[in-house]
Structure 1
Amino acid sequence: MHLALKRTTFTNQSTIGQLSINGQFECYVLEDVVRKGEKVWGKTAIPKGTYNVQVTYSNRFKRLMPLLVNVPGFEGVRIHSGNTAADTEGCLLVGKTQSTDFVGQSRDAYAVLYAQIKDAIDRREPVTITIS
């Protein structure tokens, strides 16, 4: 399974993009601000690139969740629900709707996406995400 996140909207509060699975639109994603130069802890989007995705136990959220592996300069980058940049510290927040600095219906979008990722991993299919 290949996820592709195309960043489309950049503000001084957040970054919003469109996530597709194997070329089909799935949902919107809100991240922290894309910064050039120095990283600001908990307020900077992860670097562009391709990352493996695993489902592992999150000590913070106390459940299994998707984790992006080997993100340079970051640890614990998860895909999860949330609505604004205040809900993320470098993670990817998913939603079915989007507006300025906001994604909506996040829990619904997350439930559908998580099920697809978990199913692929259970079938031992590699899961990757490319962020551009």
Structure 2
Amino acid sequence: MAQNIIKIERFFDTGLSTISRYYIAGTRIKGYILECPGPDTTMSNQRKRIPVGTYKLKWHHSPSMPAHNPLILLHNINVSESRKILIHCGNTVNDTKGCLIVGSTFSQDRVMQSGIAFTALQTYISSIGIEKFEVVISQNLGERI
């Protein structure tokens, strides 16, 4: 079992995107995540959210994002590695096909300072070992921003 948990809590859904908070307890690693709108699905190429739950992590090298490699790939028994759910940089849902985009700040349907947030997360995970982490996604939708 992983000793380090990246907690992601969805709190706002506009119909165009979903915004979440993320953090690693006991660290300064925190920010926001933008992902596609709901509903949740395990199917690929739907531009929808992945299901709430617990995910294992592994590194993934993407030929389409070489400057940011390695990216962080999430998977579990319901969401296979082949679905390629990644944590990566971006600003809007146009920058994703169903992945999680990190940012330091957010506004409706957008995260900002994505490169800074991603580098901090990537560096921290690298320093400890990706196999010692898991992601836990929960949902508490309905907040207003």
Task: Kindly provide the amino acid, as one letter, of the partner of residue 46 in structure 1.
Answer: I
Partner Cα distance (1:61, 1:78) in 2: 11
Check if 1:108 corresponds to 2:116: yes
Matched length: 130
CA RMSD between the two structures:
2.3
Partner Cα distance (1:106, 1:6) in 2: 18
Tell me, which stretches of 5 or more residues in structure 1 are unaligned?
none
The TM-score with structure 2 as length reference comes to 0.79
Counterpart of 1:109 in 2: which secondary structure? helix
Matched ranges for 1:77-116 at <5 A: 77-116=85-124
Partner Cα distance (1:46, 1:80) in 2: 15
Question: Which position in structure 1 is the counterpart of 2:9?
Answer: 6
State which drifts further: 3-12 or 31-40: 31-40
Tell me, which stretches of 5 or more residues in structure 2 are unaligned?
139-145
Task: Kindly provide the amino acid, as one letter, of the partner of residue 10 in structure 1.
Answer: D
Partner Cα distance (2:79, 2:42) in 1: 11
The structure 1 segments of at least 4 consecutive aligned residues displaced by more than 6 Å after TM superposition are none
Partner Cα distance (1:107, 1:73) in 2: 26
State which drifts further: 11-20 or 28-37: 28-37
Counterpart of 2:34 in 1: which secondary structure? strand
Query: In the superposition, relative to structure 1, how do residues 115 and 130 fare at CA in structure 2: closer, same or farther (>3 Å)?
Result: same
Partner Cα distance (1:38, 1:3) in 2: 20
Task: Kindly provide the amino acid, as one letter, of the partner of residue 33 in structure 2.
Answer: V
The TM-score with structure 1 as length reference comes to 0.87
Q: Which of the numbers 33, 36, 57 marks the counterpart of 1:32?
A: 36
